[in-house]
Structure formats: structure tokens, C-alpha cells
Structure 1
Amino acid sequence: MNKSSFGLIGLGVMGRNLLLNVADHGFKVSGLDLDPKQVIAMQSERLEGHQLEAFTSSDDFITSLASPRTIMLLVPAGAIVDQVIESLIPKLDKGDLIIDGGNSHYLDTERREQFLNSKGLLFLGTGVSGGAQGARKGPSIMPGGDFEAYQRVAPIFEAITAKYEGEPCVSYVGRSGAGNYVKMVHNGIEYAIMQSIAEVYALFRSYGFSNTEVKSAFDRYQKGRLSSFLIEITAAILGTKDPEGKGELVDNILDKAKQKGTGKWTSQNAMDLGIAIPSIDMAVSQRALSALKELRVRLSGNKPNPEKINFNTLVEKAEKALYASFAIAYAQGLQQISEASKVYDYQIDLVSVIKLWRGGCIIQSRMLGDLATSFEKESILHLFESSHFKSALTEAVEGLRELVLSGVKNALPIGTLSSSLSYYDTLHCSDLPVNMVQAQRDFFGSHTYERKDQPGIFHHNWSL
């Protein structure tokens, strides 16, 4: 009897959809979930012609797999991943491969790889982006770890992933925890872009424009250089009616955002590396601030009435602001990945990362296609160095500047847009006021300083 070439543990919506995707492409697959309801759901969703089995028994699941076994985990990140791995080890043989497809912390991935390698088992920490719909129709996949292990599963991943101009949105990301690291930063970029879009939406609404009018603006953006998954779903959200019959649904959603940790991890790690990602940092902070709903209600007062503005003028300025914000979020995330690759010896190819983000994932956009070309042809280290983007970004930043000024004037919470602008201005300033900071540090703590006019380390005996 032919055995399954791919097994998956965790048959929630994401797991079921991914397994159906693999089965769609002619692979024989097996699924495992200890919850009988999930197994029944899996069996009911199986299509005619699928070579797919689902089990509640781990022994039956293991027996159904061809050796060397390939088993992917789609279970919640954290202790559960370790528990599943521990339960599998006694049942596996040397050379079997375990793939963690959840949002695990990259340090956990490094630890698990070392542990499993000591047992003669292979391990890949693999970021998967695209949500439940992407898992079914084609996600973006970011595998990291042992290259030979990746080669074993590559035919399956290349078959099921999204395609961009015929190219699979998957490639070997790098060694050890690189896959989960890149997915972590992907999510950080996602935070920044989502918050930037939300702040632009808030500006439109503050000027009194309806959701229908704002939707028309985002529909227009989707047809141009801002074309992306997040712009597309924003337009759809703005056009969605409340099932309770109370206008548009978005107006009745409580303004308290939740988070699962990847954005926070991105900010924490950037601090450790000494990399500035203020747009991502502020987007994470904005979610934390949103949780303080009761305090915000108590402190809120009358806002100034904004001056009248022509709708088409605002649409144009907002388009430029969003273009700049997208580019700046990508720039920050890519610089962080580049630095981490050096520090952790991940050996990440930035061009490959950009290419696998062009389709299937949450941050996919038309801009990433241009970005891939720039990084590939120009050998640049930072997006702002790109000759392809320079003129377009310079113009777009002025639109961002006008929108930020408008938001500040009208006392609107536009922290991410303003952080993006500050980041851009700071990197385009040859002289920063941190000379004063260095003098202050030397004054109170004898921390020393360097001089502009001569080499060396200096200390001054300051006095009041």
C-alpha cells in the first residue's frame, strides 16, 4: 500500500486548508488531530480524488507515513510545540523530518533544531503567511534550517505556494532560526503597514468623508502602484455592511487591537541589534495604547474642527503618504533582517526574501516586485539608496509630510505616519543633534565623546 509523503499535525482551519492544498497537487497526505471534531471536519472537506487520510491516533498517523517521514506542525506557538515534538520522538526514526509551521520565536527554533539534531532527526522552522485563505489557495513559505532537509520538502512547498509571474513564493531562507526570524520581521512590517493605512483612514473620516467615499479612494489605490493585499482588504472592509443593520460594520468594531507577539518580538530584537525601526515600534505601541480604552475615553476632549479639503486633493496626498509609508516599513524590516543575518550567521539572501514576499503573504504588494529588481541589480544595502525608488520616494515623502502636518494640526493619533516621516528625515540628515546628547552623557557620567576634527576618545571636565 502506498504511504503518505506528507503528514500534518493540527487540523484547525489553517491546518486543514494547507493539507487540502497539498492534496490538490497530487500528493498523498495524512493529518492528525486529537480532537475528533477536527478530524471529522477534515474528512468532510476532502474532495473527490484527494489521497487524504485523517487520524486521532498518533500511532496510526505515524504508520501511514512513508520513510523517511516528513511531518509538519501547525499548532499554537510555545509549549505546545515542544509537547508535540516530545510525543513524536519515540515514534520516529533517524532521518525523519519535523517542520514547525507556526509563529515560533526564532530562539525556540534554534533550540529545537539542536535538540532534534542530537536525536538524529531533521528540523525546519518555517514561516507561513497568508492566513487560512492563503493556506488553501497558496501561501508564502519561509523555511529555515538544514538545507538538505529543505530539499526534501521543496517539491511539495513549491507546488502549494503562491506564484508570482510563475515563480513559487518559497525559497530556502537560511540556516538555523532564519525562517522564523524572517516571518517575525514580516509580521513587524505588517503591523506598520496596517497602522499606516488605519491612520490614513482616520484622516479621511476626520474630514467628514463617508466610508463609501474612502472606499472609492482605496479602490483607486488598488489599481495603481499601491496594489497590495492590505489595500484590497481595506477597500472590502469599508464596503461591508453591519449584519445587525447598523451602517457599515467597521464603524461598530471596538477600537481595541489585539496582538500575538511577533510585532513585539521584532521591536525587542531590533533594540538588541541596535537597528532603528520606529514605524514598526510605534505600530506595536499603538496597539498597546488602543487597549487603554477607558482611559482614552476619560481623557478625550473636543478636537479642533478640520478645515475643508477637496476630496480628490486628499486622495492624491494620501496615496503619496501610503506609498512612502509602505516603502519605509519595508526598508526598516529589510535592514533588520540584513543585520540579523550577519550577527546570527543566518546567511539570508535578501533578494530571495523579497521575492517570496511578492505573493501569498499579508504584506504582498506591487512595490515588492520593484524592490526585488532594485536589490538584485543595484547591490544596495538600504532601500533609500535605490536609484529606482529615489525620485518616486522623494515626491511621496512630501505627500506624507503634508498629511502628517494635517494630522498634527487636527490632534489626530498618527504616530506611525509621523514616525515614518521622522525616520526618513533623520536618515537624510548629515548632522544630528546627538552631539548634545554625547556632551550630556560625558557631563554627568564621564562617558566620553569623539570629535569631528580629530580622531580619538575625549573627556572634558565640565562644570556648572
Structure 2
Amino acid sequence: MELGLIGLGKMGGNMAERLRRAGHKVVGFDFSAEAVQRLNDAGSVGVTTLEDLVKNLQAPRAIWIMVPAGDPVDETIAKLKPMCSQGDIFIDGGNSNYKDTQRRHDELKPQGFEFLDCGTSGGIWGITEGYSMMIGGDDDVVERLRPIFEALAPAPDKGWGRVGPSGSGHFVKMIHNGIEYGMMQSYAEGFSIMKAKKVLGLDLTQISEIWRYGSVVRSWLLDLTADALKKNPELDGLEAYVPDSGEGRWTVYEAIDLNVSAPVITESLIRRLRSREENNFTDRMLAVMRNEFGGHAVKKA
């Protein structure tokens, strides 16, 4: 089966290679000449314009879009539409807000185009482990692309599925990432407590390896954590700065709108925001208040 792929970063490039190995034709576009060349060198078709991407695919086309959420998705679709034909399928495999996804589907459907949202997890490891894909959209359109999803998934019958109508794929991926925030925060706090107990001389790398087998807290995330600790046990050279993709925020907004208590996910998001503050005003205010009401000492910068 043929697939057009827009965005050949680490994840997009790995997806293209996994599809190629499964016997599918991939035509890939990227603004990076090096990324395009890597695709050509691997045996797929790399192009430098969207026009060439469309020309190299037979109608009805399937074009997977891997660009940042927001305006870039709309701009990419707007450029593609005049070159494409009715019945062509656009798949948004990025981390778009599900409300934007629903709007795009409702705009494209009357124009004769199909639109799927595919929340995709797997990162740089997907090429060997396969990708977890949460798909939203019309059932018949998902079925048309079944060979693509089966090739990208960990197994043809595992790790992927249509979860509901348009927007549901990105909604489920949003919640997936919110859960991920909480899991990461919990691991980070646990290892920090053990590191602080210096009198016991705990070896965090050893403990992470013990937990990987038989423990109720074992996970792929713990596997990756253990690998990271092996490479850099003291995390030397790293800053305590944690970005967020926006999906944790959206998860918290939805929890509030739906009157669902989600304190762990919410606090993990707040901690990420806190990590970006140097000598943050909040903590200085706390120190001042403790000094005012109790005479507790404050440290001067």
C-alpha cells in the first residue's frame, strides 16, 4: 500500500522505515534536505515539495501529517487540498487538540476529503517496538488503511484500534499523555527520596534493575529509566527543566470541565511548570512568610 508522509523527523523517519520493511511504498516530504536524502538512501521516495509528494501517489491517496499542532496542521492541509482529489485521506498523526480535529473533519468531509486522527505513541523506539495508535474517525476509512496500521503497530492485532468518532483518537492520546505525566512524576519523586537517604548508600541503578522484573511497578518507562541511570547515574550535565507538549494541560482542563478529580495529573503538570523557574518567586514568598510569622531563618542569595 502507498502512504504519503509529511514530516521526517526521528519519529516520522522511523515510521517510514518500518513501513518500507513491511513492503509498503512511502513517499516522504520534509523541509530538511538531509531527512529527504536519508529516506531515499533507505529505499523509499523522498521529495522536496508537496507537489511532488502528491504526484508520486496514486489516487485515492493517503497522506499522514506529522507536523506541530495548531496552525501548521491547517496550513499543510490548505496547501494539499488544491493538489488532491476527492476521496483522498488526510491523517493527523501529531498531538493536535481534539476540538481542532473535530473541526477539521467537519470542514473536510463536505469537500469530499476524508480525515482521521491518530494519537501515536512510541517515539524513537517505534521502529523496533511498534507504535501504539489510538485512531478516531469514520470506521470505513480506518478499514481502508488497516494494512498501514497493522504494519506500524507492535503486532497486526495489538497496540492499535479505532477508539471512536473524529477527535476521539487525539482525546485518548491526550489522556494517555496526562497519565504519562503522573507516572513520570511518581518515579522521579521515588528515586529522589532514595537518593536523599544517603546513610543507606542506595544504588539507584541497581534498584531500577530489581524493580524491572516481577515488581508491580515494572513498566517500559521504568526500563527506559534504568537505561538512563546506567548511562548517567548522577544525571550530570542536565538541567532541571521539563517542557510539556500541551496535552497535560488539556487533560487538566477536561478534568475540570467534566468535574473529574485528577490531582496526580494536575500536580505533575504544575511540577513541570515549576521546573522552569530559576529562584522562583513562589518559593521566595513562602520563605518570607515563614520568616514573618515564625521568625524562621531565610537564606540570602
TM-score, length-normalised on structure 2?
A: 0.89
Shift of the alpha carbon at 1:118? 1.7
Corresponding residue of 2:225 = 234
In structure 2, relative to structure 1, the CA distance for the partners of 1:176 and 1:212 (3 Å cut) is: same
2:26 to 15, 25, 29: 29
Aligned partners of 2:256, 2:284: CA distance in 1, in Å? 33
Comparing 274-283 and 186-195, the one that deviates more:
274-283
Corresponding residue of 1:185 = 175
Aligned partners of 2:199, 2:154: CA distance in 1, in Å? 36
Corresponding residue of 1:10 = 7
Shift of the alpha carbon at 1:188? 0.1
Shift of the alpha carbon at 1:9? 0.7
In structure 2, relative to structure 1, the CA distance for the partners of 1:135 and 1:76 (3 Å cut) is: farther
Q: Which AA in structure 1 matches 2:86?
A: K
2:148 to 121, 139, 156: 156
Q: Pairwise mapping of residues 413-428 of structure 1 onto structure 2 (< 5 A)?
A: none
In structure 2, relative to structure 1, the CA distance for the partners of 1:294 and 1:171 (3 Å cut) is: same
Q: Pairwise mapping of residues 40-189 of structure 1 onto structure 2 (< 5 A)?
A: 40-44=37-41, 46=42, 50=43, 52-135=44-127, 137-163=129-155, 167-189=157-179
More strand by share: 2
Q: How many residues align?
A: 285
In structure 2, relative to structure 1, the CA distance for the partners of 1:229 and 1:210 (3 Å cut) is: farther
Q: The residue matched to 1:268 in structure 2 has which SS?
A: helix
Q: Can you give the 5+ residue segments of structure 1 that lack an aligned partner in the other structure?
A: 242-247, 302-464
Aligned partners of 2:146, 2:203: CA distance in 1, in Å? 45
> 1:18 touches 1:136 (CA, 8 Å); kept in 2?
no
Q: Deviations over 1:283-328 (max 9, x none)?
A: 0011112222312786798xxxxxxxxxxxxxxxxxxxxxxxxxxx
Greater RCO, CA 8 A, separation 6+: 1
Aligned partners of 2:45, 2:201: CA distance in 1, in Å? 46
- Between the two proteins, what is the percent identity of the paired residues? 36
1:295 to 264, 280, 290: 280
In structure 2, relative to structure 1, the CA distance for the partners of 1:20 and 1:291 (3 Å cut) is: same
Shift of the alpha carbon at 1:252? 3.6
> 2:18 touches 2:151 (CA, 8 Å); kept in 1?
no
Pairing 1:285–2:270 present? yes
Q: Which AA in structure 2 matches 1:33?
A: D
Q: The residue matched to 1:68 in structure 2 has which SS?
A: coil
Aligned partners of 2:131, 2:152: CA distance in 1, in Å? 8
> 2:195 touches 2:202 (CA, 8 Å); kept in 1?
no
In structure 2, relative to structure 1, the CA distance for the partners of 1:79 and 1:209 (3 Å cut) is: farther
Aligned partners of 2:77, 2:33: CA distance in 1, in Å? 21
Aligned partners of 1:115, 1:259: CA distance in 2, in Å? 29
Corresponding residue of 2:260 = 275
Q: Can you give the 5+ residue segments of structure 2 that lack an aligned partner in the other structure?
A: 288-301
